[in-house]
Each structure stands twice: as C-alpha cells, then as structure tokens.
Amino acid sequence: MKKQSIALICFLALFSLPIKSMGSDGAAQFLDQSLYPRAVGMGSAYTSLANGSDALSWNPAGITGGDMAVSLFRYIESDYITIQGSYGLSFMGHDMGFGVGYVSSRFDGVQETLKQGESRDTTTGILYGYLGQALQLGGSVKIQEGFTAGMTLKMVQEREANHSASGVGLDVGIQSEPFKNFKVGAVIKNLISPEMTWDTPSKSVDTLTRTGVIGIAYTLEKLTLSADFSADAHETWVQAGGEYLLHPMLPIRGGIGKNEWSMGTGLILGSTSIDMSYTQHAKEGVDGSYRLGLRHTF
C-alpha cells in the first residue's frame, strides 16, 4: 500500500510539468472523442476501469485485462456525416500485457472557409474531406498485486483536402486497487505531444494538449459508480457515471460528461459482449451520437 501511494504521488506530480507548445493545440481532435460504448454510456468516467485493448486509448495501465479483440464504431449525422471506428487487440502474458489498436475518423462535404477579418468567415464553395487515423502500440506491467503501470505510443496522421500532417505521441498511466471493490487510476495523455507539421506553404504546426486525469470507481454488488477528474492547460472538468446490472446479461448505464450526458446498455453473452450508447451534446447544432461495440474476451 505504501509503495502504491508513493508511486501515485510521483505520477500525479507530473501533471504540473510545463509543456512547450510549438503551435495550436487543435490537432487530431478525433482522439479526444470517446468511442468505447460502455465507457461513453458511463459519462466517459473510465480511467480506473479501462482494461484490455480499450485501455490503449483510456489508460494503458489496464492493458493487462487480456481481452482478445474490440471493434468499436461511432456514427454522427449533422451538417455532414462523420464515421469513426476503433479496432484493437491485446494479449496478456506473465504479469505483462501488450496491445495494438487503430483509430480512424473521416467525414466529407465540409465547406472550405477563408478568414475575412477577426469576426467574419466566408465560404469558397469548395467541398473537401477529412481523414484522421492513429496507430497505437501499448504495453503494461504488474508492479505488484493490484498495481499496474503502462504506456501507449501513438502514431497520428491527418489528411485534409490535399494536405497532410503526422506526428508521434505518448500516453502513460497507472491503475491500483488499494481496497476491495475500490479502484484508482491516473493517466497523462500526450506526455509527449505529437507535433503535426502540415505540408502547406506556411508549414503550420498543430499539437495535442497534455491532459491529466485521475479516476476512481467503486463496485457494490450489481452497481458500479465512477468519476474522472481532468485538467489541461486551459480548463478542468469532472465526468461521472454508473452501471447497474438488471440481469447478469443486461447492464444499464448513465452518466454526465464534458458538456454532454449519455446513457447506454449492453448484452453480455459469456465471453462476448455487445454494447451501445447514446450521447446528447450540449453544443447547439450538434446532434446526438450513437456508438455500437463488440468485444470478445479469452
């Protein structure tokens, strides 16, 4: 317990490290949009619960969960159609876990705009498409019983119109179960932030914001409650949610995320689960989004 507490304090101290940004922090925003339906249905408060291949994006310390495969899909329809997908595979060996994942996001039919002064944009009538994709390689190790640490290396690429940018980043995380049925997790996303240099005449650079997250979760028989506390250079926010097993095969979920609320359910068939969620966004003009996922555990 003492070793776990010291490690947790040292890890959280990294939150205060300054990070130098060489450009805007609007790169690869699709990586900030949660995909796993169970997690999203619980308000995206999943840092302490992530396991297996879904942990590649949430908290790499949970990769030791050892599931065989995860396939996730997201669909949004508003002014244009966005389709996102995530596919992952993880393995668990002796006190170690390894995972590989692929995340993609694409949409078409976006109007090109030009800046006209500080408060007015005009459209050119030109439509273009966008493709963002990331390859994730992760690993975790059990330091002692009930305490794991891991990292995810991610190679990110974006294509927009006839231009592209790419970069490499790193997330690190820990998970612990200091008490029975009580879990704690922490992750630093973009500890090493990808610096995305576009192949345009201006050679503009985008980065991903470093974000620190602390998560807790408590399970009491059929009920699991969780909360995440997040902070970056611009703001802090809280996400919270829960899951209740109406039947061993039928969970229901609900939660409040960052400027959104969500709900979800699933069907557990032995080592296979099918999950779905719905999220309603607070931002005006953004429609609700649906997610459907399939997961198999060996």
Supply the pLDDT for residue 23: 46
Supply the pLDDT for residue 14: 55
In the chain, which residue ranges form alpha helices assigned H by DSSP?
2-13, 37-41, 55-58
Assigned token pair, 37: 């339906």
Nearest to 61 by CA among 129, 141, 4: 141
CA 200 to chain centre: 29
Show the CA angle centred on residue 96, arms to residues 72 and 220, nearest 5°. 65
For residue 288, the one-letter residue type is G
CATH code of the domain made up of 2-8+37-113+121-297: 2.40.160.60
**Tens digits of per-residue pLDDT, 179-237?**
899 999 999 999 998 888 888 888 888 888 889 999 999 999 999 999 999 998 889 99
Rounded Cα gap, residues 124 and 131, in angstroms? 21
Give me the residues of the chain with pLDDT under 50, please: 16, 18-23, 77-80, 115, 118-120
Q: Is residue 277 within 8 Å of residue 264, measured between CB atoms?
A: yes
Q: Which single residue is written with the structure tokens 């109406």?
A: 246
**pTM for the full model?**
0.83
The residue ranges of every structural domain in the chain are 2-8+37-113+121-297
- Can you tell me whether residue 108 is helix, strand or coil? strand
Residue 13 bridge partners (DSSP) = none
Residue 101 bridge partners (DSSP) = 88, 136
